[in-house]
Chain A
Amino acid sequence: MSDQGKSLSDFLVDKDELGVYARVSVDPNLYVLTAILKTAYWFTDQCYLFLANRPPLIEVEFRLKQGDSTDSLKKLCGDFLNNLLDQAVRQKVLEETSVVRDTLVKKAFFEAKAALSKGVVSDESHLPHEDQSFKLDPLNISGR
């Protein structure tokens, strides 16, 4: 059968006991689970979401917090898929640059641990001597 003219996102709108919902299917081989979860996390303040694992796809179900407008649901799905693509690219870049990032962090910590340069010394002249105690109170602070 030809896939010509068929949407790859497999968008569906239906109704059940909780109201109208829209569903899109995403391929976890194309979009890693981390990207799907990060995107879903950003959408939980706008709508109700549910993820179902239906191998080889992951189905994402959307419900509006208020109302049952199909157009709003379609827009949500479209926005979700765009954001998913964005997250997937970010995730890929994150993976590809992880070695460079780790090296930079290690270098930064290594430099912070290095010995102080000449001229930078700690001024410890105000530290109390062994025979001094807060009980002596020469400035009578407790009496003020």
Chain B
Amino acid sequence: MAFIREIDNGIYSRKALADTRDAYRSYCDVLAAPLPNNRVSISLTVKNEYMADSRQIILEFWNYFLDSACKVHLESE
């Protein structure tokens, strides 16, 4: 089952997405589809072997993504 959320590139940068996708490559598949107004649709599908922990994986993914986004934002200042 895919979990879909929309993000704003002004908050979650592309670099942060690339870093997070790379970090969670073993646990889930990440699809990013660009939307108008600097937004991106992110679709997460947890791999079958980790389905039992899907809630934790999805939420940890978003926390990691936010941490990376904060670092990228602060480095750019």
Interface residues of chain A, those whose CB is within 8 Å of chain B, are 17-19, 33-34, 37-38, 40-41, 44, 48-53, 58, 63
Contacts and interface: CB of A to CB of B under 8 A. Distances in A.
B67 A33 contact: no
Contacts, number: 48
B6 interface: yes
A33 B8 CA distance: 13
Interface residues of B, number: 21
29 contacts: A18-B3, A18-B55, A18-B58, A18-B59, A33-B73, A34-B73, A37-B11, A37-B69, A37-B70, A37-B73, A37-B74, A38-B74, A40-B66, A44-B66, A44-B67, A48-B59, A48-B60, A48-B62, A49-B62, A49-B63, A49-B66, A50-B5, A51-B66, A52-B6, A52-B8, A53-B10, A53-B11, A58-B11, A63-B59
Interface in B14-35: none
B74 to A, nearest CB: 7
B53 interface: no
B77 interface: yes
Nearest to A18: B55
B63 A48 contact: yes
B6 to A, nearest CB: 7
B55 A51 contact: no
Nearest to B1: A17
